[in-house]
Amino acid sequence: MEKLSKLPNGVCEMITKCGSDWQPTQEMMEGWAKTCPDINLQVHLGRMTMWCQANQAKRKTMGGMFKFANTWLNGEQDKAARAKASGHKKKNSIRAQGIDAKLRDITWVPDESKLMMRSFYLQKIGFYHYDGKFYEQ
């Protein structure tokens, strides 16, 4: 199976319990794209990558990474499908997004650097915030 080529390098290289990097295959990505149509795969893969870096004691084995990613994405798909069915729209304000959004707010960045930061966040995690609004790819 070939490695994923749709995402920028490093976005979905998740560190395992043994310290090796794991990356989903193109086949896995295609399967998730079909079974999880209501979520942004790039954003959630980026979140999983950061979770693996931040939670050294809870990292998964190489053999358990597919199950970890599949469980995460299916859970997010279920949440999105429930919200969609109930008619609730996800709020796009920084306040509704929490600390995660505040860390990706580029409002404070000097004007000459805004374009660069916007591109950085879109490539790395697929979204950014500016003037209280949420922007994604």
Reading the chain (137 residues) residue by residue, the pLDDT tens digits are: 333 344 554 457 899 999 999 999 999 999 999 999 999 998 999 999 999 999 999 999 999 999 999 999 999 999 888 888 876 555 555 555 566 666 778 888 888 888 888 888 888 778 777 777 777 87
0.75 surpassed by pTM: no
Q: CB burial class (10 A; 0-12, 13-18, 19+) of residue 44?
A: buried
Give me the residue spans of the domains in the chain: 14-86, 94-136
Q: Are 43 and 125 in contact (CB under 8 A)?
A: yes
Give the closest residue to 90 by CA, choosing from 40, 26, 33.
40
